[in-house]
Amino acid sequence: MINLNANKIEGIKNIITKRSINTLVHFTRVENLSSILQHGILSRDEAFKNNIKIITTDDYRLDGHLDSISTSISFPNYKMFYPKQKNLGGKWTIICISPEVLWKNDCSFFEQNAASSEMRYKTNKSNLSDFEFMFNINAKNKRGEVLDRSQLKLPESQTTDPQAEVLVANQINAKYITDICFPSISDKNEYSTYLKNNFNVTAHYYPNFFNPRKDYLFWKNN
């Protein structure tokens, strides 16, 4: 936990309320569930430091932030999540996290993928203006097409760019985990056993999180 100034905390809370932001989301392999519910979500550096084994889903981590956990606001980064499911196989889950983390943890706010050429060398992205810009930026896809955010018809709670991310430093305490989402009822039933001693966490069959956002055609590559 960090100590933010009162104005920044109030600003973050106001944006959360104004945009009806109910959750951050983090995708991971189901094999990590038991560890996550015990230790929280750990960055790669934090897991290594505490000798906790985790299955990583990004061998290269081009953003260079091995001390941080990648999360998305309201909806998963499907442009990363879909190919990982396809190429790496295995079973996956979406962890839902209380938005309290946005003001209780050390967070950096990237309006695009933090590993992109535009974002990779940006070091100070923790300002309230950076958080606001995740929603206020216009949309520009790889074909060079630019749209005003309103033309995408996104819910207010979703960032303009589907790959925008909040990097949370070190650890997200398990107490901030609210829900675990699965793509099938059978997976939900199978892995709900991990949740039996976690009364504040609920398992859900929620296939919507495992599919693209409604604006995927705009972002689709040539």
Domain assignment of residue 218, yes or no: no
* Domain-embedded: residue 217: no
Whether residue 122 is contained in a domain is answered as: yes
pLDDT 10s digits, 79-125: 999 999 988 889 999 999 999 999 999 999 999 988 887 776 677 89
Are the C-beta atoms of residues 194 and 167 closer than 8 Å to each other?
Answer: no
Q: Is residue 110 part of a domain?
A: yes
Q: What is the pLDDT of residues 153-201, one digit of tens each?
A: 999 999 999 999 999 999 999 999 999 999 999 999 998 887 877 768 9
Q: How many domains does the chain have?
A: 1
Domain that holds residue 171: 6-210
- Can you tell me which residue has the tokens 């190429």? 87
| 27 occurs within a structural domain | yes
pLDDT of 63 reads 59
pTM: 0.91
Is 53's pLDDT higher than 90? no
> Mean of the per-residue pLDDT values for the chain?
90
Q: Report residue 10's pLDDT band, with 50, 70 and 90 as the boundaries.
A: very high
Write out the two tokens for 107: 């967070």
What is the 8-class DSSP label of residue 18?
Answer: H
Tokens of 50: 């505490």
Residue 209, SS3 per DSSP: helix
* Alpha-helix runs per DSSP H in the chain: 6-18, 33-39, 44-49, 78-88, 101-104, 128-136, 185-191, 216-219
Q: Is residue 202 part of a domain?
A: yes
In a domain, 157, yes or no: yes
How does pLDDT run across 61-77, given as a tens digit for each residue?
Answer: 555 678 899 999 999 99
Distance separating alpha carbons of residues 107 and 132, to the nearest angstrom: 13
Q: Is residue 220 part of a domain?
A: no
